[in-house]
């Protein structure tokens, strides 16, 4: 079944190339375009003579002039080049899938099984044991001490990476209670926005901006909290002020501009 799927994907990937090969040839280059125009003029002259709209003498003179232009037209290697290009494309149409298949057989591992459930469960249990040991160490020290703060930071990072937003927020709040840090407050505010608590995020950001009023990340998050709270006007003011103060080459300008455009 997997080989059928791979073949289908290869066909889809090469379909544009096949369309190029099957598409009727078009005039390429100035010389070939001129020749096509002259041939069309000769055909038109023949039709005019057959319809009686031009006499034989005028037809012969006009035909001679067009034929002179055909002989005088510069020749190029476009047809040969087009033929070579078509041959190359046709070869690639078959060589690319073959090369990919050979490379997969050489370097791939088609028989590798997926991670079994027991292995994933054991890994999760090992991570939980490490976190339990960390919690025990935090509980053994003074909650207001710097070691406790560092432990809560580590615990919050670990829980955030595991997708446990509530536990991460609780750990980071405990770390902030020991010693306030504007950047950590920004991390927690971003987490609160993700959890849907824009009011808590706004309170954290207001305090953080009191310490670092020019920090662009905190200012952006402040506007994001206002937008998520339904205060589009406040968000627009915050982001417009941020863009006005930002350098023209700030890498995050596009992000702020997209957020502004998305406001109602």
pLDDT of residue 128: 87
pLDDT of residue 237: 96
% of the chain with per-residue pLDDT over 70: 67
pLDDT of residue 151: 93
- Residue 186 confidence (pLDDT) above 80: yes
Domain range list for the chain: 2-107, 119-179, 181-264
| Residues 196, 197, 199, 201, CA torsion sign | negative
pLDDT of residue 27: 47
In sequence order, which residues have a C-beta less than 8 Å from that of residue 182 and are 6 or more positions away? 207, 208, 209, 211, 212, 215, 218
- Residue 63 confidence (pLDDT) above 60: yes
pLDDT of residue 77: 46
- Residue 235 confidence (pLDDT) above 90: yes
pLDDT digits (tens, 9 = 90+) for 97-136: 666 666 666 666 656 565 566 777 787 788 888 889 999 9
CA distance 158 to 219: 26
CA distance 23 to 139: 73
The CATH number of 181-264, from 3.90.1010.10, 1.10.10.60, 1.10.340.70, 1.25.40.10, is 1.25.40.10
Return the minimum-mean-pLDDT range out of 16-25, 46-55, 186-195, 224-233. Answer: 16-25
In sequence order, which residues have a C-beta less than 8 Å from that of residue 114 and are 6 or more positions away? none
Backbone angles phi, psi at 73, to 5 degrees: -65, 140
pLDDT of residue 26: 52
Q: Six-digit token pair at 199?
A: 């009011």
Return the minimum-mean-pLDDT range out of 59-68, 129-138, 202-211, 226-235. Answer: 59-68
pLDDT digits (tens, 9 = 90+) for 24-60: 555 455 566 666 777 777 888 788 878 877 777 777 7
pLDDT of residue 111: 60
Placement of tokens 């998520």 in the chain? 228
Assign 3-class secondary structure to the chain. Answer: CHHHHHHHHHHHHHHHHHHHHHCCCCCCHHHHHHHHHHHHHHHHHHHHHHCCCCCHHHHHHHHHHHHHHHHHCCCCCHHHHHHHHHHHHHHHHHHHHHHHHHHHHHHCCCCCCCCCHHHHHHHHHHHHHHHHHHHHHHHCCCCCCHHHHHHHHHHHHHHHHCCCHHHHHHHHHHHHHHCCCHHHHHHHHHHHHHHCCHHHHHHHHHHHHHHCCCCHHHHHHHHHHHHHCCCHHHHHHHHHHHHHHCCCCCCCHHHHHHHHHHCC
Q: Is the pTM of this model over 0.85?
A: no
């Amino acid at each position: 079944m997997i080989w059928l799927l791979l073949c289908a994907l290869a066909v889809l990937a090469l379909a544009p190339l096949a369309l190029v090969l099957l598409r009727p040839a078009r005039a390429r280059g100035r010389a070939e375009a001129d020749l096509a125009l002259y041939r069309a003029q000769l055909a038109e002259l023949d039709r005019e003579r057959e319809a009686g709209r031009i006499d034989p003498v005028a037809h012969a003179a006009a035909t001679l002039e067009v034929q002179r232009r055909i002989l005088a037209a510069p020749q190029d290697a476009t047809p040969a080049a087009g033929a070579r290009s078509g041959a190359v494309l046709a070869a690639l149409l078959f060589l690319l899938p073959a090369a990919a298949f050979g490379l997969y057989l050489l370097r791939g591992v088609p028989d590798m099984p997926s991670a079994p459930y027991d292995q994933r469960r054991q890994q999760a249990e090992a991570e939980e044991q490490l976190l339990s040991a960390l919690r025990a160490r935090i509980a053994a020290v003074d909650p207001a001490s710097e070691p406790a703060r560092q432990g809560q930071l580590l615990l919050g990072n670990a829980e955030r990476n595991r997708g446990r937003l509530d536990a991460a927020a609780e750990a980071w709040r405990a770390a902030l209670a020991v010693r306030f840090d504007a950047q950590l407050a920004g991390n927690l505010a971003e987490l609160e926005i993700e959890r849907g608590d824009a009011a808590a995020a706004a309170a954290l950001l207001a305090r953080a901006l009191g310490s670092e009023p020019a920090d662009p990340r905190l200012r952006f998050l402040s506007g994001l909290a206002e937008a998520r709270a339904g205060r589009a006007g406040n968000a627009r003011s915050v982001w417009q002020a941020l863009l006005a103060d930002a350098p023209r080459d700030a890498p995050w300008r596009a992000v702020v501009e997209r957020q502004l455009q998305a406001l109602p």
